[in-house]
Chains A and B, each alone.
Chain A
Amino acid sequence: MIALSPTMNEGVIAKWNVAEGAAFSAGSVLCEVETDKASMDYEAPKDAVLLKILLPQGGKASVGEPIAIIGAAGEDPGTLAPSPSREDPVAASLSSPEPPASGSRPNAGFAAASPPVEPRAGALGDADALPGGGPSALAAYPPSSPLARSLARELGIDLRAVRGSGPGGRVIERDVRAAAEAQSATGPLTMPPSSPISMGALAGPAASLIQGPADRRIPLSTMRAAIARRLSESFYSAPHFYLKRRVGAAALLALREASGAGREKPVSLNAILLKLSAEALIRHPRVNSSWEGDSILERSSADIGLAVALPDGLVVPVVRDCGRKGILAIDDELGELIAKAKGRGLEPSDYEGASFTISNLGGFGVEEFSAIINPPGSAILSVGSIAEEPIVGPGGAFASRKALSLVLGCDHRVIDGAEGARFVAELASLIEEPGRALL
């Protein structure tokens, strides 16, 4: 049901003018609808066949609810569930069938039916698809005075990690200055005033000889405070579960070798993992989603973050839309972002709004681990080290292969076990046979 007047919330079908199975052309009157004010004509938005009437004469529907299924002649409406989507009332009112498995879309399909095969580009209300995140990212920012904001920019303070002392928690100048002081106080580490060890009677070398090293209290950097807050929030609010799988690494290493040909530096494994993950995410968009409290936002592009260790913390720069980029482009971008991260020069648009995250501790010799989800994404992939391992070959003979461990951490509010497992299987098959990405 579409809104036939600006104030219309629901409508009653007064009369269907087109019978089931009949073809109609754009602009013809499909049915007449009683609204709160008058009886109005419901015009067909395009040429199609009326496959099934869902709301018979006399039936009432709210704006956005499906009233009929249209499609191409001969399609079976019985297999086609109407879209439950109500976020786009106009287009979703007439529920259009999904494209057949062959991939050729029937000409009658309306744009806003929900094809699960490809994630919709530019879905309505998809603010989170924008770099930097939408309302959920904004919500993390406390209210702040303009001076506090410009000062924070100047001093490199992340306002989200600053506690506001103004009315309503507004971050004001003095809060930013205090945060900057705390951040710069990384040099000599201060004794807590309440230290139980009295230094009063002892001084100089004798003191350290007798007492040994004292406890150290380390003030939080803004980065440390942000890590603490964000990961606690994620760990305590998102019910995590983990799916583990061993994957052969031979093809991955071969691909790395091949793609690095003619380049100064070899392509990083991470760039390849970002690309293959993006391909898997495109095939399993639920894993590329955000929990929004009252809805789940399936993201249209695979914006993949990579955890990068820094001397006193970590950051997660994001490569946008990895599905549309090649491995070399991703590798170049990753190189720039990591250099920026190490120089502390990342802009919020470089690290905000990851739809999926990869953390790779393989370089440290870690076999496997289970990382905490990095919001607003709903899944994180923990990648372990590549090592030779014995496998049981055909006929029971032992053989060896290079393999690595993948652990996918999922937010159960968004991703169920089976969906997570399908994604892991997809990713494993892409890693073992990267050529499948082209299929």
Chain B
Amino acid sequence: MAVMTYREALNRALDEEMARDERVFIMGEDVGEYDGAYKVTKGLLAKYGAQRVRDTPITELGFTGAGVGSAIVGLRPVVEWMTNNFALLALDQVVNEAAKMRYMSGGKLSVPIVFRGPNGPAEQLGSQHSQSFTSYWAHVPGLKVVAPSTPADAYGLLKSAIRDDDPVVFLEAELMYSWKGEVPDEEFLLPLGKAAVRRKGKDLTIVSFSKPMKAALEAAESLTSKGIEAEVLDMRSLRPLDEAALRESVRRTGRCVVVDEAWPVASVGSHLAYLASRDCFDALDAPVALVSGEDVPMPYNHGLELAAQPSAAKIEAAALRVLYREA
């Protein structure tokens, strides 16, 4: 078992899938000559050539649409968005074309494409480049949405996403690329739509996905000093969503804190909180809590920027609240 970074795990998955299936190709800004803005595609141009690792102009709508078209006619593109902030330009191709094609063609067409790139705030990138758009994608039937939080998950889920016959939005995070973790040496796939229990506990369930998982686990660790055993559930895949795992855990613990770095209104986090309330009503001893990004454009000031995001301290406070415990 090798320890590798999230970035290396993604690179390994891309490399293996390109070697396995020649229909797989990569397209995006700076993915080739520059090895990718965050070096996820490092070395792939040299290995597979410019035909399969294509640098594009700064035209998200254009190259996303080209990817969707090539997927319809039989290729398996992996389109890299330098960030999800830029992907807003391509919303129409994703929502109106990729997500609809199978349904509107009566099943005659499929769109086996992966859109991948960092999502959510990093550090001091300003309001326009510090946004989590998870709910934009998770909102749309016809798309699959994956948001892994560990290198092993990033590897196993990206391989499954590339082999999936439907469009998958694959959400990463700039700050996660250097996170390290063990990844088994042998090849493996992880199914889309299965959550993972990162930590067993009986007193409350902390549910999250992607980058905030780190703060969630830190909070759970800190809570042990107060004699509280938090279960930490990593949803990993947001569409399809492992509702059964959420249900099972919250019914057992009777308390739930949802953590999502996106804004709180109409977010994936608010949806998870709704599901917990709806499906675990009789088991809940306290209202479901949501720790979200603050409902503001992201401040540039680093202190304010951190204050506007979920933190271990905020999650711990929410946990104590649903346990009716003093801080």
Contacts and interface: CB of A to CB of B under 8 A. Distances in A.
Interface of A: 145-150, 165-167, 172-174
A146 B286 CA distance: 8
Given A147-B254, A165-B324, A166-B324, A172 B282 contact: no
Q: Interface centre among A146, A149, A166, A172, by most B CB within 10 Å? A: A146
Contacts of B283: 146-147, 150
A107 to B, nearest CB: 53
A173 B322 CA distance: 11
B281 interface: yes
B91 interface: no
Which of A149, A150, A174: most chain B CB closer than 10 A?
Answer: A150
Contacts of A166: 286, 324
B324 A146 contact: no
Interface string B251-264: 00010000000000
B109 interface: no
A173 B285 contact: yes
A148 B254 CA distance: 10
Interface string B271-304: 0000000000111111000000000000000000
A172 B284 contact: no
B282 A147 contact: yes
B324 A147 contact: no
A148 B281 CA distance: 11
A149 B281 CA distance: 11
Nearest to B283: A147
23 contacts: A145-B284, A145-B285, A145-B286, A146-B281, A146-B282, A146-B283, A146-B284, A146-B285, A147-B254, A147-B282, A147-B283, A148-B285, A149-B282, A150-B282, A150-B283, A166-B286, A166-B324, A172-B285, A172-B286, A172-B324, A173-B254, A173-B285, A174-B324
Contacts of B285: 145-148, 172-173
A132 B190 CA distance: 54
A172 to B, nearest CB: 5
A167 B281 CA distance: 18
A305 B286 CA distance: 37
Contacts of B254: 147, 173
Contacts of B286: 145, 166, 172
A4 to B, nearest CB: 44
Contacts of A146: 281-285
B324 to A, nearest CB: 5
Interface residues of B, number: 8
Nearest to B254: A147
A54 B277 CA distance: 57
A148 B324 CA distance: 13
B285 to A, nearest CB: 4
Interface centre among B254, B284, B285, B286 (most CB of A within 10 A): B285
Contacts of A167: 324
A145 B286 CA distance: 6
Interface string B292-327: 000000000000000000000000000000001000
A369 B286 CA distance: 47
Given A145-B285, A146-B285, A147-B284, 20 more contacts: A145-B286, A146-B281, A146-B282, A146-B283, A146-B284, A147-B254, A147-B282, A147-B283, A147-B285, A148-B285, A149-B282, A150-B282, A150-B283, A166-B286, A166-B324, A167-B324, A172-B286, A172-B324, A173-B254, A173-B285
Contacts of B281: 146
Interface in B46-60: none
The 8 A-B residue pairs with the shortest CB-CB distance, nearest first, are A147-B285, A173-B285, A150-B282, A145-B285, A147-B254, A146-B282, A146-B284, A146-B281
Contacts of A172: 285-286, 324
B8 to A, nearest CB: 45
> Interface centre among A148, A166, A173, by most B CB within 10 Å?
A173
A146 B251 CA distance: 11
A174 B281 CA distance: 17
A167 to B, nearest CB: 8
B68 to A, nearest CB: 45
A162 to B, nearest CB: 14
Q: Which of A147, A148, A149, A166 has the most CB of B within 10 A?
A: A147
A166 B324 CA distance: 7
A148 B283 CA distance: 8
B233 to A, nearest CB: 19
B61 to A, nearest CB: 47
Interface string B97-109: 0000000000000
B256 to A, nearest CB: 11
A21 B282 CA distance: 64
A167 B322 CA distance: 11
Nearest to A176: B285
A164 B281 CA distance: 19
A259 B282 CA distance: 48
Contacts of A145: 284-286
A147 B277 CA distance: 12
Nearest to B287: A145
A172 B284 CA distance: 9
A172 B255 CA distance: 11
Contacts of A174: 324
A317 to B, nearest CB: 27
Nearest to A165: B324
A205 B286 CA distance: 50
A148 B282 CA distance: 8
A23 to B, nearest CB: 60
